[in-house]
Structure 1
Amino acid sequence: MERSLDRLKELAALFFKLGVIGFGGPNAHIAMIEAEVVGKRQWLSREHFLDLLGATNLIPGPNSTEMAIHIGYIYAGWLGLIVAGVAFIFPAVLITVGFAWVYVALGAVPQFAFLLYGIKPVVLAIVVDALWRLGKKAIKTRKLFVIAIAVALLLWLGNISEIIALLIGGVLGMIWLRSPDRPQQAKEEANILIASIVTSSTLKATAAMTAASQISLWQLGLSFLKIGSILFGGGYVLLSFVQGEFVQGYGWLTQQQLLDAIAIGQFTPGPILSTATFIGFVMAGFPGAIVATVGIFLPSFIFVAALNPIIPYLRRSKWASAFLDAVNASALALMTVVTIQLAIATFSKSSAPYVDGLAVAIALLSAVLALQFRVSAAWLVLGGAAIGWIAFTLGYVR
C-alpha cells in the first residue's frame, strides 16, 4: 500500500511539473515525457514508449495527455491513470481560467480591444503552421489527398456537421485505402468516393441552426463530450468543431470570441484542449468552465483505459491504420475550411478597401517566423499584441 502511494506521489509530481513547463505543443510534451520516463526514470523501455505513442494515434483526443494517462496506468494502475492525467491537465486549466476571468472582465473595454486586433492575425498564422506540419504527416499518398479535398468540399458546400464529415471520410477512406492499388480500379474508386461524399452534402446537420439566449450547462457539457469522443487529428481540429457547434450551431459564441480563445490558449502550457475551459468560462462562467473541461478530457481517460490492454492487437491491424490515415486527412480538411472562414472574418473591413492590409501583413510575417524560423507561438502572440498597441497609439485602430 505504501509503495502504491509513493508511486502515485511520483506520478503527481512529475506530470504536474510537465504540465507547468509544457509549452511548445504536443510534440514538445511527448519529448519531455520520453526524457523523464524512459531516459531519466526508466519506468518503461523506448520500444514500449513507441508502442504507446502509436496507440494514441488510433484513438481521438490529445496525444500528449493520453501518453501521460497511459504511463500512469502502467506505473500505478487505475489510480495512476487518473492521477497522471489530472496532474498534467490541471496547470493549463487553472491558468486558462485566470485568463478567461480577465478576458470576461476586460474584453469589452475599448482599451483592451487593440491587443486582440494584433493577436488574431497571429493566431491564423499559428494555425497555418500547424496545418503545414500536420499535412506533411497526414497527406502521405494521392488517395489521402483526394479524401482531404472531398471532405473539404463536403464541409464548405454542404450543410453537414463536422462529425458526419469526419466519419464519412474515415469509413469510406478506410475502404478505399485497403483496396488493391490498380490504376483503373483506383480511378473508379476515387470517383465513387467523391460522388458518395458530395452526394451526402445534401444532408442537413442534426443540430438546429438557432441562436440560444440561455446556455444550457447540460448541452454545453454534452457537446464537448461529443467533440472529445471524435477529436482525431490533434488539438487544433477543436477549432472546426467549436465553430460548427457553438458559433454556427447554437450561436452561443461569436467568431471573434473563438479567435480570442485560440489566441489566449497560446499563452498557456499543457494540452491545447484547455481552450475548451476558456470557451466554457466565456459562455457560462465557472460552471461552464468545469463542464467543458470534464466533457473534452473525459473521453481520453475512457479510451486509454479500454485501449491499453489491447494495444498489441491494434498495432497490427491494417484496417485500424487505414481508418486512422483517412480520419487524419479528413481532420486536416476540417481545419483548412475553418481557417479560411476565420481568415475572411479577420481580414475583412466594412468599408473600402474592404481588406485590412495591416492584419494581412501581421499574418504573413507571423507565418514566415513560424514556418521558417520556428519562433514560439507565445512570442508570436506577444509580438502581435505589441503591434496592436502601436497601431492603436498611431490611430490606426479605434
Structure 2
Amino acid sequence: MNNLPFSRLKELAKLFLKLGIIGFGGPVAHIAMMEDEVVKRRQWLTREHFLDLLGATNLIPGPNSTEMAIHVGYIYAGWLGLIVSGVCFILPAVIITGVFAWIYVNYGTLPQVAPLLYGIKPAVLAIIISALWGLAKKALKTRQLLLIALAVVILTLFGKLNEVIALLLGGLLGMLWLCRGNQSNFVIAALITGTVINTSVTTLSVPLWQLGWFFLKVGSVLFGSGYVLVAFLQGGLVQEYGWLTQQQLLDAIAIGQFTPGPLLSTATFIGYIIAGVPGSIVATLGIFLPSFFFVAALNPLIPRLRASAWTRAFLDAVNASAVALMVVTTIQLGIATLILAQVPYVDFLSLAIALFSTILALRFRINAAWLILGSALIGYGALFLGYLP
C-alpha cells in the first residue's frame, strides 16, 4: 500500500512530461491527447468522468489543458498528484521557452535573425485569427452575447478600459442581463461603469513584485483559450506599462506557438526579456499558480456551479468578452504587422503570408508550429531576393 502513491506519482510524471514535450497544436490537441491516454489507454477515468472534468475547466479561470492535467492528477493521486501532473505538463514548455528567450535576448537583434522574425509575425497574426474564429463561433451563441462583446470592444478600443476590468465587467453585465432579460439595466450599468472606472498606471521601473502581480492577476481572470492572454499582454505590458514593444510581443507569441505545451509559457519568455532569469521565474509562477489553487479549491463546488443559471450566464458573458478582447488585439497587431509608415503603406508580402496562413489554419487545420516554420523560411527567402521593408 505504501508504494501505491509513489507508483501513481511516477506514472503521472512520465505521462505528463511526455505530453508536455509532444503537446503541439494548442489546448484542443492537448485535451485530445489526454483523453486518449487516461481514458482509452490507461482507463484511469471513464469517458463520462473525463467530460465532466472538461466541463468544469470552463467554470474557472486558467488554461484549460493545464487544468485538465491538474484535475487528472488530483483524482488519480490526491494533492501530490495535483502538483506532479501540473508541474510535469508545464515544465518542458517553460524550459524550452526559457532557452529560446536567452537566444532571443542575445541574438534576436542580429540581421541573420531579423528575416526569420519578419516572416513569423504575419503567421502569428493568422494563428490568432484562426483561434478567434473558432472561439467566436462557440462564445457568441446569442444576440445578447454578441452585443456584450461589441460593448466590450468599444469600451476597450475607444474608452481605453483595462482588459481585466473589461472581462469582469462583461461577465457581470451579462449575468444581470441574461438572467433578468432587462436590456435597460445592461445599458445603464455599462454607461455608469464605463464612466467611473479608470485604471491607468504609468511607471518606468519594473520591480519583480509588480511583474509577478501582473501575471498573477492575468492568471486569475484568464477564462477560455490561452490566446486571450495576448489581449492582456497587449493592453498591460505594451500599452499601459510600456515594458514590452509591439515587436517583442509578436515574437513572444511566435515562440509560444513554436514550442509544445501550454501557450501561457509565453510568460516565461516575456519575464526573461523584461527582468532576466528572476523575471522569467516570477512571471511563470504568477501565470500558472492560480490554476492549481482554483482546481483544488473549487472542485467540490463544481456540481453546484454548473447547476446555477447565474453562473452559466456569467461564464457565457465572460467568454463573449474574452472574444471581444481578442478582436481588439487582433486589430492592433494587424496594424503593427501589415501597415508601413511610407508608400505603399501596406506590406504586401506580410499580407500574403497572413492570408495564406489563415487559409491553411482554418481550411486545412495545419498545425501552428508548421505555419511558424514555413513563414520563417519565407522570411529568409525574402532576404535573398532582396525584399525586406
Question: TM-score, with normalisation over the residues of structure 1?
Answer: 0.95
Q: How far has the Cα of 1:357 moved from its partner?
A: 1.3
The separation in 2 between residues aligned to 1:255 and 1:12, in whole angstroms, is 37
2:326 aligned residue (316, 319, 335): 335
Paired AA for residue 26 in structure 2: G
Paired AA for residue 177 in structure 1: L
1:146 is matched with 147
1:368 is matched with 359
The separation in 1 between residues aligned to 2:336 and 2:185, in whole angstroms, is 35
The separation in 1 between residues aligned to 2:191 and 2:21, in whole angstroms, is 45
The separation in 1 between residues aligned to 2:32 and 2:347, in whole angstroms, is 39
The separation in 2 between residues aligned to 1:15 and 1:317, in whole angstroms, is 33
Question: Residue 180 of structure 2 aligns to a residue in which SS?
Answer: coil
Q: How far has the Cα of 1:125 moved from its partner?
A: 0.4
**Residues 192 and 316 of structure 1: CA distance in aligned 2, closer, same or farther (over 3 Å):** closer
Q: How far has the Cα of 1:198 moved from its partner?
A: 4.4
The separation in 2 between residues aligned to 1:11 and 1:374, in whole angstroms, is 30
The separation in 2 between residues aligned to 1:122 and 1:335, in whole angstroms, is 16
Do the aligned partners of 2:175 and 2:317 also contact (CA within 8 Å) in 1? yes
The separation in 2 between residues aligned to 1:8 and 1:338, in whole angstroms, is 40
User: Residues 1-398 of structure 1 correspond to what in structure 2 (within 5 A)?
Assistant: 1-180=2-181, 189-203=182-196, 205-210=198-203, 212=204, 214-397=205-388
The separation in 2 between residues aligned to 1:4 and 1:313, in whole angstroms, is 30
Question: TM-score, with normalisation over the residues of structure 2?
Answer: 0.97
Q: How far has the Cα of 1:350 moved from its partner?
A: 1.5
Paired AA for residue 152 in structure 2: V
Question: Residue 153 of structure 1 aligns to a residue in which SS?
Answer: helix
Do the aligned partners of 1:125 and 1:366 also contact (CA within 8 Å) in 2? yes
The separation in 1 between residues aligned to 2:200 and 2:138, in whole angstroms, is 32
Do the aligned partners of 1:122 and 1:366 also contact (CA within 8 Å) in 2? yes
Paired AA for residue 147 in structure 1: I
Unaligned runs of 5+ in 1: 181-188
The separation in 2 between residues aligned to 1:203 and 1:175, in whole angstroms, is 19
Offset from partner CA, 1:19-54 (integer Å, 9 cap, x none): 111111111111111111111111121111111111
The separation in 1 between residues aligned to 2:183 and 2:258, in whole angstroms, is 42
The separation in 2 between residues aligned to 1:88 and 1:202, in whole angstroms, is 43
Paired AA for residue 171 in structure 2: G
The separation in 2 between residues aligned to 1:262 and 1:38, in whole angstroms, is 32
1:184 is matched with none
Paired AA for residue 341 in structure 2: S
Paired AA for residue 79 in structure 2: W
Offset from partner CA, 1:88-122 (integer Å, 9 cap, x none): 00011011011111111111112211111111011
Offset from partner CA, 1:210-260 (integer Å, 9 cap, x none): 4x1x32111101110010000012101111111111111111100110000
**Residues 198 and 337 of structure 1: CA distance in aligned 2, closer, same or farther (over 3 Å):** farther
Offset from partner CA, 1:248-300 (integer Å, 9 cap, x none): 11111001100000011111111110011111111111111111000000000
The separation in 1 between residues aligned to 2:41 and 2:350, in whole angstroms, is 45
Do the aligned partners of 1:154 and 1:197 also contact (CA within 8 Å) in 2? no
Q: How far has the Cα of 1:392 moved from its partner?
A: 1.1
Do the aligned partners of 2:338 and 2:351 also contact (CA within 8 Å) in 1? yes
Q: 285-294 or 197-206, which moves further after superposition? A: 197-206
Q: How far has the Cα of 1:193 moved from its partner?
A: 2.2
Do the aligned partners of 2:89 and 2:261 also contact (CA within 8 Å) in 1? yes
1:183 is matched with none
Paired AA for residue 61 in structure 2: P
Paired AA for residue 50 in structure 1: L
Do the aligned partners of 1:208 and 1:249 also contact (CA within 8 Å) in 2? yes
Do the aligned partners of 1:209 and 1:248 also contact (CA within 8 Å) in 2? no
Q: How far has the Cα of 1:315 moved from its partner?
A: 2.2
Q: CA RMSD in A?
A: 1.3
Alignment length (residue pairs): 388
Question: Residue 276 of structure 2 aligns to a residue in which SS?
Answer: helix
Unaligned runs of 5+ in 2: none
Question: Residue 252 of structure 1 aligns to a residue in which SS?
Answer: coil
Do the aligned partners of 1:266 and 1:381 also contact (CA within 8 Å) in 2? yes
Paired AA for residue 263 in structure 1: A
